[in-house]
Amino acid sequence: MEQVSPGPLFHKPQSIVAAKNILYAVLFLTLINWAIGQWTTDLHRLAPVQSIVIVVVTVAIIFALIKSIGLGKKWARVVLLVLFIIGLAAFPWTLMALFSVSILVAVMSLLQAILQLIALIFLFSRESTLWFDRVEEKKRDEPAA
């Protein structure tokens, strides 16, 4: 009997698995950091509803991107990179302001940025790129249903 090997989605490289796990950890840290900022500083006192909406939308978008990455969508890692670069542009000024308000929130924000950078390095590694390419190739080879 011939063994049928599963498709490339079942053979995720360790770099993809690691990146996804790191990004899920970043989401968890985002929620914790937001809660700490909410309860220990005056950062969100002026617009608490707006703050909740922003954190929920941010988490939902990043969660959707992580799921898309797990499904082999190459565009999702590019979107994640673009969002990271946009956030990085204002990060030094934001971090300075955070350090003056709450050292804990600032350090957690810095940790999140470092973890995101590590996840992006994993996502754009050679091993990950080859996997994304195999997934795209398999989709092209399958007949349309």
Q: What is the pLDDT, as a whole number, of residue 104?
A: 93
Q: What is the per-residue pLDDT across 27-58, written as a single tens digit (0 to 9) for each?
A: 999 999 999 888 887 765 667 788 889 899 99
Domain that holds residue 87: 13-133
Is position 3 within any domain?
no
Give residue 33's identity as a one-letter amino acid code. N
DSSP single-letter state for residue 11: S
Is position 80 within any domain?
yes
95 neighbors 67 (Cβ within 8 angstroms): no
Instruction: Give the count of domains, the chain.
Output: 1
Comparing 126 with 144, the larger pLDDT belongs to: 126
Comparing 94 with 46, the larger pLDDT belongs to: 94
Is position 100 within any domain?
yes
Is position 138 within any domain?
no
In whole angstroms, give the CA distance from residue 41 to residue 80: 29
Q: What is the mean pLDDT of the chain?
A: 88
C-alpha Rg value of the chain to the nearest Å? 18
Is position 109 within any domain?
yes
Is position 6 within any domain?
no
What backbone torsions phi and psi does residue 43 show, to the nearest 5 degrees?
Answer: -60, -40
Read out DSSP for 69-110? HHTT-HHHHHHHHHHHHHHHHHHHHHHHHHHHH-HHHHHHHH
Token pair for residue 52? Answer: 């909740």
Is position 22 within any domain?
yes
Is position 33 within any domain?
yes
What is the reported pTM?
Answer: 0.84
In whole angstroms, give the CA distance from residue 20 to residue 27: 11
